[in-house]
Amino acid sequence: MNHVSAPHGQLVGYARTSTTDQKAGLAGQLRDLQDVGCHRVFSEEVSSVDKAKRVELERALDYVRAGDTLIVTKLDRLARSVADLVKITERLDEKGVALRILAMNLDTSTPTGKLMLNLLGSIAQFERELMLERQREGIAKAKVENKYKGRKPISDDKSGDVVRLRAEGKTVDAIIAATGVKRTSVFRILKEANAKAEA
């Protein structure tokens, strides 16, 4: 492969492999990034599914400067979703840093690359609006059928703990400290429990 130099600044690579991937996957990414002339490469082993913090990605995003280009081999090595990609590219854009995704032949320093990225951002927004619309329709339908209960208060999940602690002789303050339930909710739960016991 021919080495491509950035018009200004340097080429910075980022490689990621999941905890289930073979080491060969990471080695292949590192080789490809070196082949295109990356001066500095950040790499890590983090799953794309879990919410674990991508420390090396953060370091790469902090490291790059105006005129630099951040390079990854594939889109899924960089972002966990289209929305995640949009956030990352916004950060890079604010710093004046271009993004290249080798497998997609996408380079945001070019007009075509910028257009492709804008399209991806539009798709992310479209997906979000569709999801919200489906959610609103689902709630409206549930309300018509008298099935909508709204979000269950956190205190309801802990009502059993509140009653048990009170039965053990704990004070209201001790119950609040142990469960995190608000004072008014503690009194409401105990009142309801007493009403049930007397019924």
Please, which residues have CB within 8 angstroms of residue 174's CB and are 6 or more apart in sequence? 165
Based on the residue annotation, tell me whether 43 is a catalytic residue of this protein: no
Please pick, among 5, 18, 47, 185, the residue that the annotation labels catalytic. Answer: 18
List Cα–Cα distances, 131 to 10, 87, 137, 148, 152, in angstroms: 40, 19, 10, 18, 21
* C-alpha span between 35 and 84 (Å, rounded): 27
Give me the helices (H) in 20-110, please: 23-35, 55-63, 75-78, 82-95
Q: Could you give the residue numbers annotated as active site?
A: 18
